[in-house]
C-alpha cells in the first residue's frame, strides 16, 4: 500500500513535507520513542482511481470473499455500490469503447431537466431527418402531436432514436444537446466519454467506458424522473387516436426472450450496435443495498450474454459487498486534490518512491529539532531553579 500523490509539483511536495515536520514537532514524545514506532499504514484513499487506471481485472478481496464469476467475457465491466459510489471490482474500467444506446442515459441526465414532460409537441418532418439508418425506433411520426412524457418513454423503453432526435430539437437542437451532454459528463467526473450523436448511434470518435456508464447509471438513480422511466416495463405509445404497447428492451427487467428477470432490478439502459456489440447499464436492490453494474461487449455466449454476465456480477456483488475493499469510487475526487483526466494521462499518478528520501530527511530534522527543544527546556528549568535557590539564600 502506498500514498498516491495527485501532483508531483515541488510546491505540493514542499507543503506536504512541511506539514509532516510540523506534526513531528507537536508530538510530546522523545526521540527514542519516535524512532521505535513502526511506519504508519499508507491506505489508498476512497476516491482514488489508481487501481482502475490499470488494465485487467481489479479486485481486493478479503480471505472470505467469494471468487469473481469465471465466465464473464465482456471487454470491460464494473460493479459498484450506488449509495457510497465505491467500486467493488472492475475490468478495464477506463477502456474507451463505443457505448451504443447506453449513451441515452447521459442524454436523459443532460436534457430531462430542461423539458416540461407535461407539454405537447407537434413533430415536424425535419426533426427526423438525421435519424441513422437501421436505428431502433419507437414509431414517432411527423405531423403527429405527442406529450413529452410519451417521447421519454419511447427513449427508455424502445430505445427510440426517433424520440431522441425530437427531444433534442425541443431542447434547442442536436448541437446544443451534444454540448450539454459533454458538459454533464465532465460535471459528473466522467472523463472517458466523448459524445458525437445524442442517441448513441455509431459515430467516429464516440466512446465511453464501463466506469463512465456506471457514473451515469448512479446519477440516474438519484433522479426521480429518470428512475421512473428506466424502471417502466410496459407502456402505451400514442399513434393518432389509438395507441400500442411498448416493452422495455432490458431483458433483466422484463424477463423477455428467455432471459429470467432479476429480482429487485431497477432497470436503467441497454444498447446494441454492430460496432459496439451488446452494452448494458443496470442496477438492482437487495437487503437495503443497491448495486450498479456495467457490461460492455461480451465476446462469448450470443446476443443475450450481456444480461447473463450482468446477472453473475450482480450476484457476486451482493455476496461480496462486505468482503472486498474498494478499488476506486464513482464519486469525483475532491476539487482541491483532483486533476482533470485527459486521453493521455491518468487522474491519479502511480507512487513516486523518490519522495521518501526527502521525507526521511524531514523526519530526521524534526527529531533533531525536537531533541534540541527538550535540551533547551531542561537548561531553562535548571537556570530558573538555580536563581530560585539563590534568592532563598539571600532572604534567609
Domain residues of the chain, as ranges?
10-44+354-395, 57-337
Give pLDDT, residue 302: 84
For the chain, give the mean pLDDT. Answer: 81
Confidence category of residue 299, pLDDT binned at 50, 70, 90: very high
What is the pTM for the complete model shown?
A: 0.75
49, 101, 158, 329: which is the annotated catalytic residue?
A: 101
Mean pLDDT of 53-62: 96
49, 159, 197, 329: which is the annotated catalytic residue?
A: 159
Q: Which among 156, 60, 145, 47 is positioned nearest to 105, based on CA atoms?
A: 156
- 222-262 pLDDT, tens per residue? 999 999 999 999 999 999 889 999 999 999 999 999 999 99
Give pLDDT, residue 361: 43
Q: Measured in whole angstroms, how far is the alpha carbon of residue 160 from the centre of its chain?
A: 26
- 205-221 pLDDT, tens per residue? 999 999 999 999 999 99
Residue 356 has pLDDT above 50, yes or no: no
Confidence category of residue 50, pLDDT binned at 50, 70, 90: confident
Question: E strands along the chain, which residues?
Answer: 57-61, 76-81, 86-91, 120-122, 145-147, 234-238, 243-247, 265-273, 277-286, 289-296, 324-325, 328-329
Give pLDDT, residue 335: 61
> 69-73, 113-117, 329-333, 375-379: which range is least confident on average?
375-379
Give pLDDT, residue 334: 67
Share of the chain above pLDDT 90, in %: 69
Concerning whether 105 is annotated as a catalytic residue, the answer is no
- 9-43 pLDDT, tens per residue? 444 444 444 444 444 333 333 333 333 334 334 44
Q: Which among 134, 170, 130, 125 is positioned nearest to 150, based on CA atoms?
A: 170
Residue 374 has pLDDT above 90, yes or no: no
Q: Measured in whole angstroms, how far is the alpha carbon of residue 143 from the centre of its chain?
A: 41
User: What span, in angstroms and rounded, lies between the C-alpha atoms of 193 and 104?
Assistant: 12
User: What span, in angstroms and rounded, lies between the C-alpha atoms of 202 and 78?
Assistant: 22
> 44-48, 161-165, 204-208: which range is least confident on average?
44-48
CATH number, domain 57-337: 3.40.710.10
104, 136, 197, 208: which is the annotated catalytic residue?
A: 104
- 86-140 pLDDT, tens per residue? 999 999 999 999 999 999 999 999 999 999 999 999 999 999 999 999 999 999 9
How many CA atoms lie within 13 Å of 208's alpha carbon, on the beta-carbon side?
A: 40
Residue 156 has pLDDT above 70, yes or no: yes
Confidence category of residue 382, pLDDT binned at 50, 70, 90: low
Concerning whether 159 is annotated as a catalytic residue, the answer is yes
Strands 289-296 and 76-81: antiparallel
Convert 358-368 to b/e letters by CB count within 10 Å (16 or more is b): eeeebbeebbe
Concerning whether 9 is annotated as a catalytic residue, the answer is no
Amino acid at each position: 500500500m502506498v500514498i498516491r500523490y495527485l501532483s508531483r509539483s515541488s510546491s505540493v511536495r514542499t507543503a506536504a513535507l512541511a506539514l509532516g515536520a510540523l506534526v513531528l514537532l507537536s508530538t510530546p514524545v522523545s526521540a527514542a520513542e519516535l524512532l521505535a514506532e513502526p511506519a504508519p499504514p499508507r491506505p489508498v484513499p476512497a476516491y482514488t482511481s489508481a487501481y482502475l487506471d490499470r488494465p485487467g481485472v481489479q479486485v481486493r478481496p478479503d480471505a472470505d470473499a467469494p471468487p469473481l464469476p469465471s465466465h464473464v467475457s465482456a471487454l470491460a465491466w464494473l460493479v459498484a455500490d450506488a449509495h457510497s459510489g465505491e467500486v467493488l471490482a472492475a475490468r478495464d474500467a477506463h477502456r474507451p469503447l463505443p457505448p451504443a444506446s447506453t449513451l441515452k442515459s447521459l442524454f436523459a441526465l443532460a436534457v430531462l431537466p430542461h423539458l416540461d414532460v407535461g407539454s405537447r409537441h407537434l413533430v415536424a418532418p425535419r426533426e427526423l431527418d438525421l435519424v441513422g439508418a437501421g436505428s431502433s425506433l419507437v414509431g414517432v411520426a411527423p405531423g403527429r402531436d405527442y406529450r413529452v412524457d410519451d417521447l421519454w418513454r419511447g427513449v427508455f423503453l424502445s430505445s427510440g432514436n426517433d424520440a431522441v432526435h425530437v427531444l433534442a430539437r425541443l431542447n434547442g437542437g442536436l448541437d446544443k444537446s451534444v454540448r450539454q451532454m459533454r458538459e454533464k459528463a465532465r460535471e459528473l467526473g466522467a472523463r472517458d466519454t466523448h459524445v458525437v450523436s445524442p442517441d448513441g448511434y455509431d459515430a467516429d470518435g464516440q466512446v465511453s467506458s464501463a466506469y463512465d456508464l456506471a457514473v451515469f447509471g448512479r446519477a440516474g438513480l438519484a433522479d426521480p424522473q429518470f428512475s421512473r422511466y428506466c424502471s417502466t416495463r410496459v407502456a402505451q405509445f400514442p399513434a393518432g387516436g389509438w395507441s400500442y404497447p411498448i416493452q422495455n428492451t432490458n431483458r433483466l427487467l422484463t424477463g423477455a426472450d428467455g432471459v429470467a428477470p432479476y429480482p429487485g432490478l431497477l432497470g436503467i439502459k441497454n444498447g446494441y450496435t454492430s460496432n459496439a456489440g451488446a452494452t448494458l447499464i443496470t442496477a438492482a436492490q437487495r437487503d437495503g443495498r443497491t448495486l450498479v453494474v456495467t457490461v460492455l461487449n461480451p465476446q462469448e455466449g450470443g446476443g443475450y450474454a450481456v444480461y447473463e454476465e450482468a446477472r453473475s456480477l450482480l450476484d457476486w456483488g451482493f455476496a461480496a459487498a462486505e468482503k472486498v475493499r474498494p478499488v476506486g469510487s464513482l464519486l469525483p475526487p475532491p476539487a482541491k486534490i483532483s486533476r482533470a483526466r485527459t486521453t493521455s494521462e491518468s487522474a491519479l499518478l502511480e507512487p513516486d518512491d523518490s519522495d521518501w528520501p526527502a521525507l526521511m530527511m524531514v523526519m530526521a530534522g524534526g527529531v533533531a529539532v525536537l531533541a534540541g527543544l527538550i535540551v533547551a527546556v531542561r537548561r531553562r528549568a535548571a537556570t530558573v531553579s538555580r536563581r530560585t535557590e539563590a534568592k532563598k539564600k539571600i532572604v534567609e
